[in-house]
Amino acid sequence: MSSHLSPSSDGSCTRLAPFGWDEQLARDFHSLHAPGTVPARVIAEHRDRYVVRAAAGERAAVLAGRLRHHASRREDLPATGDWVAVDEGAGTAAIHAVLPRRSIFRRKAAGETTEAQVLAANVDVALIAAALPGDVNARRIERYLALAWESGAVPVIVLTKADLVDDVDAAVRGVRAVAPGVDVAPVSAITGAGVDALARWLLPGRTAVLLGSSGAGKSTLTNLLAGDDALRTGTVRADGKGRHTTTHRQLVQLRSGALLIDTPGMRELQLWSADAGLESAFADVEALAARCRYGDCAHQAESGCAVRAAAQSGALDPARLESWRRLRRELAWLEIRQDQAAAADERARVKTLHRAHRAHTRRKYG
């Protein structure tokens, strides 16, 4: 790439603007003081290989050694949607740094580890997809909402395959009851019904992420909004090569000018840090809790508990109350494990330090 395409020049700004680049990002990039690099956005992530979009076009990318060795936490490594600094030139790019994130969508990594996994970065809108026939699960939606609110993105619930159910309105009402203050949009990718209503969230230069179970219709919807077969979907392909499911997170440009990150379905969706997210997702329950007689009410057996009173009168669905309790317990338990993991990290760091010191001493005096 020629040197006149410095990131502050009009060339880079106008060519990256369709991917969400703006003045604040340009300032952040300059503060990195990384000579010989240009800004790029991560548009796909496959284990340790990436595809990035720089002003000059798409390039395959890998982590620069320094970034790989110095990132102490997995969540500090680039994820789809991140803005990164890559070296100039053609061929496979090395990613040297990740720019500060405006929002970060993360869950606890699956399995025994106490680590966060970043699902998407720099997302403005989280579209939580659930297929109307059989996939609408209030408890799972609450969980997605807690993570979405925590991420800093605005959640919207997209109920897909509306063509396959008779009473769409009843389903929408049911979902609204567990999603206070959140828009619920029923759509069909087959008839196109409701798809135009998504336009108000899919604005030029803005980034949305589509989350939800495998088979919910996320890739089909993405293709419809992108206007071509940008992604492979679960339908059998015309060439007879069989069904495709999304295997990695990928950012595509929509006809509206918005960016959309499609994701594979996730079997587990465990919370990471989500205190504020949980408060937003359960704003109705939190409002009740604020009216309990005692400030430290555990909503168990205390007198004057507004939460239990609402559950008893039917004003609050007892299943929703139980869900709130369960998610709060999950967070409390996770916090203990996070503290233990942090303490173990610190012990490992001190041990390494001592080992290095002993080796140094032996070399010098031994």
Ligand X SMILES: Nc1nc2c(ncn2[C@@H]2O[C@H](COP(=O)(O)OP(=O)(O)O)[C@@H](O)[C@H]2O)c(=O)[nH]1
Q: Does 250 bind ligand X (CB under 6 A)?
A: no
Residue 246, interface with Mg ion (CB under 5 A)? yes
Q: Which of 42, 216, 292, 321 binds Zn ion (CB under 5 A)?
A: 292
CA distance 248 to 264: 6
E strand or H helix at 182, and its extent? none
Secondary structure (H, E, C), 226-258: HCCCCCCCCCCCCCCCCCCCCCCEEEEECCCCC
299 binds, among Mg ion, Zn ion, ligand X, none (CB under 5 to 8 A by kind): Zn ion
Which parts of 152-263 fold into alpha helices (H)? 168-176, 218-226
**Using the rule CB under 6 A, is 188 a contact of ligand X?**
yes
> Is 220 one of the binding residues for ligand X (CB under 6 A)?
yes
- The residue count of the chain comes to 366
Count of residues that bind ligand X according to CB under 6 A: 20
Q: Which of 9, 137, 214, 338 is the binder for ligand X (CB under 6 A)?
A: 214
Window of 73-81, 117-125, 171-179, 218-226 that interacts with ligand X by CB under 6 A: 218-226
Which residues from 294-333 bind Zn ion, rule CB under 5 A? 297, 299, 305, 307
Q: Cα–Cα distances in Å, from 91 out to 52, 61, 99?
A: 12, 9, 22
If the CB atoms of residues 238 and 301 are measured against ligand X, the closer one turns out to be 238
Site string for ligand X, 95-114 (x = CB under 6 A): --------------------
Contacts of residue 319, Cβ cutoff 8 Å, sequence gap at least 6: 138, 139
Contact segment (CB under 6 A) with ligand X among 20-28, 141-149, 156-164, 325-333 equals 156-164
Smaller CB distance to ligand X: residue 147 or 221?
221
Rounded Cα gap, residues 47 and 70, in angstroms: 18
Partner whose binding site includes residue 307, from ligand X, Mg ion, Zn ion, none (CB under 5 to 8 Å by kind): Zn ion
CA torsion through residues 176, 178, 184, 186, sign: negative
Interface segment toward ligand X; rule CB under 6 A; list 115-123, 217-225, 279-287, 346-354:
217-225
- Among candidate residues 187, 133, 182, 180, the one with its CA nearest the CA of residue 158: 187
Contacts of 286 (CB under 8 A, 6+ apart): 279
Q: Is the Cβ–Cβ distance between 221 and 187 less than 8 Å?
A: yes
218 binds ligand X (CB under 6 A): yes
Site string for Mg ion, 277-316 (x = CB under 5 A): ----------------------------------------
- Among residues 210 and 288, whose Cβ is nearest to ligand X? 210
Non-local (6+) Cβ contacts of 168 within 8 A are: 132, 159, 162, 186
Closer to ligand X at the Cβ: 190 or 341? 190
Phi and psi (nearest 5°) for 335? -60, -40
| Residue 219 binds Mg ion (CB under 5 A) | yes
Q: Which residues bind Mg ion (CB under 5 A)?
A: 218-219, 246
Q: Which residues bind ligand X (CB under 6 A)?
A: 160-161, 163-164, 188-190, 214-220, 233-235, 245-246, 265
